[in-house]
Amino acid sequence: MARRGLFKSRLAVYVAKVASGMVRAEDFENRVLARHVIEAVRNVGSQLCNSRDGAFFCPICSRGPFTKRGYYLHLTRLHYSYLLFLVDKEVERILKVSKMA
Ligand SMILES: [Zn+2]
């Protein structure tokens, strides 16, 4: 349980990195994670990447503007568990779609 919690907690960090543009979605890779989890991180991260003129606005609570780093910190501090929730939902959706294909 503790290990799994630790592992899961990294997913919120990865999503925040993609969302804040620190890592481009297509460049996100991880040797430990399953393909569908990587895809879920990429998708959720891209959905949350909301910037105008170089400033970031949070689509979850509509606060902003943030710098790249500020937005990353905002997401990991305020929306940590929500990011995990979004990744979980996206993983479910991807698995469902791949079963139907
Ligand atoms: Zn927010």
Put simply, whether the predicted model's pTM sits higher than 0.75 gets the answer yes
Domain that holds residue 25: 2-100
pLDDT in tens, the chain (101 residues): 455 666 788 999 999 999 999 999 999 999 999 999 999 999 999 999 999 999 999 999 999 999 999 999 999 999 999 999 999 999 999 999 988 87
pLDDT at 57: 97
11 CA to centre of ligand 1 in angstroms: 17
17 CA to centre of ligand 1 in angstroms: 14
Domains: count for the chain? 1
**72's tokens:** 């990353």
Phi then psi for residue 52, to 5 deg, are -130, 125
13 CA to centre of ligand 1 in angstroms: 15
100 CA to centre of ligand 1 in angstroms: 34
